[in-house]
Structure 1
Amino acid sequence: MNLMFSRGPSLQSRLALGLLLSVALILFDHKFNGFGTTRVYLNSLVSPLQYLANLPGEMLNASANRLVSQERLIEENAKLTHDAVLMSEQLQRFTFLQQENVRLRRLLNSPVKNGTKKSVAELMAVDNNPYSHQIVINKGAINGVFEGQPVLDDNGVVGQIMQVSSTNSRVLLLADVTHSIPVRVARNNVRLVVSGSGSLRELFIPHVPHSSDLKVGDLLISSGLGNVFPEGYPVAKVSSIIRDESRPFAQVTAVPVAQLDRLKYLLLLWPSEDLTKEALAE
């Protein structure tokens, strides 16, 4: 066998030679920066490979961040929607309480005469009979309510108590066809009687002479006759007057001052001590 081409330096010699060359190149580069330009070119050549190697990790991180951000946005959106619904409910409740407070203040500040006992009642039910206008309130005999007791709202006379039980009472409204109340015109004290028509927005004034001094818009107030309704409370306003000479009386209608179709809180009146003593004496 010809070993001519296999002869050469040994492995140890090659290793030592390689180490010496490496140290020499390192010293040369450190002292004279001889491979700076070459290093730049090599880094530029390798950098695309580095970007390619990092690309899968960057894509995974971006996808994970997107998923986390989407989940966080969904959670925040659900929380904000929940909070908005709660705030809306609280706002509606606040508006309702504010309106109720205004109604109660107007009711308690109604022009009730001094020395008159009063109490606030709340509507419980409305009679569904189309031919009768009655309501039920949450005050009864245990609260001192009595039959014939006048009932008002913050605008004027509503009606009177017609039936009393222990914890609630039934009120007959002005608009009921069986109800009548003596009144007088605030402008000139002409005395009249206002009767219900069966409509919540219309009252009749029967037996009005053609010569009676009555005008559209006149305010009718309770006259105090009959000792049921105290004197001086608003009842209705004259809405129309038809003077037909072929009829014995003028046809007069009025609109109740109280909002009979929007009742919520009502005011119960008791007679003053002077009237009670007078009634007992009689």
Structure 2
Amino acid sequence: MFAVSRDPFDVTILLRSAAIKPLFARGPSPTFRVFLAALAALGLILADHRHQHLAMVRSALAFVTYPIQYAADQPSALVRMTREQFASTDELRDENLLLHRENLLLKARVQQFEALEAENIRLRDLLGSSLDLGERVVIAEIMAIELAPYRQQVMVNKGTKSGVFVGQPVLDANAVMGQVVSASPFSSIVLLITDADHALPVEINRNGLRTIAAGTGLSEGLELLYIPKNADVRVGDLLVTSGMDGRFPAGYPVARVTTVRQDPDNPFTTVIAEPTARLDRSREVLLVWNLSETSRQQALAGDAPQSRGTE
């Protein structure tokens, strides 16, 4: 016969021992579990790398986890928006000032490019004019200008060191401008044809009528002296140098007639002409050396190509 214990504590222990029983009497070791996990991971990596079998799985996981990523990024995005919205007035003012300065610099550079382009065009015009002259010429730049009433003269940056002499003709790319009245080693004074003290022998290119073009002291006007009332002078006639003074070579453009007026009290016809040279706008001028008649004929015949040049 068996003895039955009446101790409640012993009964409880027996019941708990009967209720808790392990599912497996003995499971795999931890090392084997790690090995299986590593082998499975390696297999997944090879399968995804070689055959892209897990692309769909990744897409599904990315779709599932996107709300989580979006929610995690919201605090930093909120901070950035707040910083941009509440940027200080000083920072905006400094940025605006910096952009304004950069804009001014860019505009200045554009102006320099435009000035260089205009200067290039002027120099090309001068070069083309010098090749057409059949004379020896040198290009000079205007340093100073005086266009006060009854005083029309400019200063150029060439002097006796460059061979400049008093009485030397001066032209721009279009026509006669004046002549040198004073020369120093490195600069010269040019009296413009519009000066009240300047007079130039000219002729009408259309009919060969000779006259004197005198300066009026105004940059836009020359007056033709001693034109008879029956002379054939018309508005638009081109005046060229006649070469009668032995200083200006013949045939250079001087001015174009703008006014022909008959005054009852004046025995001569009043004729006003406008210079074709850009007296108030030219930046560079041509100083001309006359060729001798023999050299001129050789140059025209093509026997002396060295007779004309620029310095």
Q: TM-score, normalised by structure 2?
A: 0.65
2:128 pairs with 1:113 = no
Letter in 1 for 2:76: N
Q: Aligned residue for 1:60?
A: 75
Alpha-carbon contact 2:179-2:192 (below 8 Å) kept: yes
Deviations 1:228-248 (A, max 9, x none): 111000000111111124321
1:88 matched residue in structure 2: 107
Say which SS state the counterpart of residue 225 (structure 1) adopts.
Answer: coil
Structure 2 residues not aligned, in runs of 5+: 1-11, 24-66, 297-311
CA distance in 2, matches of 1:264, 1:58: 66
8 Å CA contact retained: 2:149, 2:218: no
1:152 maps onto 2:171 in alignment: yes
Which of 194, 197, 202 aligns to 1:178? It is 197
1:158-190 CA deviation, whole Å, 9 max, x = no partner?
A: 000000001000000011000000000000000
In the TM superposition, what is the alpha-carbon distance from 1:142 to its structure 2 partner?
Answer: 0.1
Whether 2:254 is the aligned partner of 1:239: answer: no
Of 249, 263, 281 in structure 2, the residue corresponding to residue 230 of structure 1 is 249
Which runs of no fewer than 5 residues in structure 1 stay unpaired?
1-8, 21-49, 278-282
2:179 matches 1:122: no
- Secondary structure in 2 aligned to 1:258? coil
Q: Distance in 1 between matches of 2:272 and 2:146?
A: 24
* 3-state SS in 2 of match to 1:199: coil
Aligned CA-pair RMSD: 3.9
1:264 aligns with 2:286: no
Looking at structure 2, the residues matched to 66 and 145 of structure 1 have their Cα atoms a distance apart, in angstroms, of 73
Cα deviation for residue 141 of structure 1 reads 0.4
Q: Distance in 2 between matches of 1:259 and 1:67?
A: 63
Pick from 109, 126, 134 the counterpart of residue 153 of structure 2.
134
What number of residue pairs does the alignment pair up? Answer: 237
- The answer for the alignment partner of 2:32 in structure 1 is none
Give the superposition deviation at 1:255: 0.4
**Alignment equivalent of 1:100, drawn from 119, 126, 137:** 119
Deviation at 1:78, TM superposition (A): 8.5
Task: State how far apart, in whole Å, the 1-side matches of 2:263 and 2:147 are.
Answer: 36
User: Which range moves more in the overlay, 89-98 or 167-176?
Assistant: 89-98
Q: Does 1:162 align with 2:181?
A: yes
- Equivalent pairs: percent with the same residue? 38
Q: Does 1:200 align with 2:198?
A: no
- Show the counterpart of 2:27: none
Q: Does 1:220 align with 2:239?
A: yes
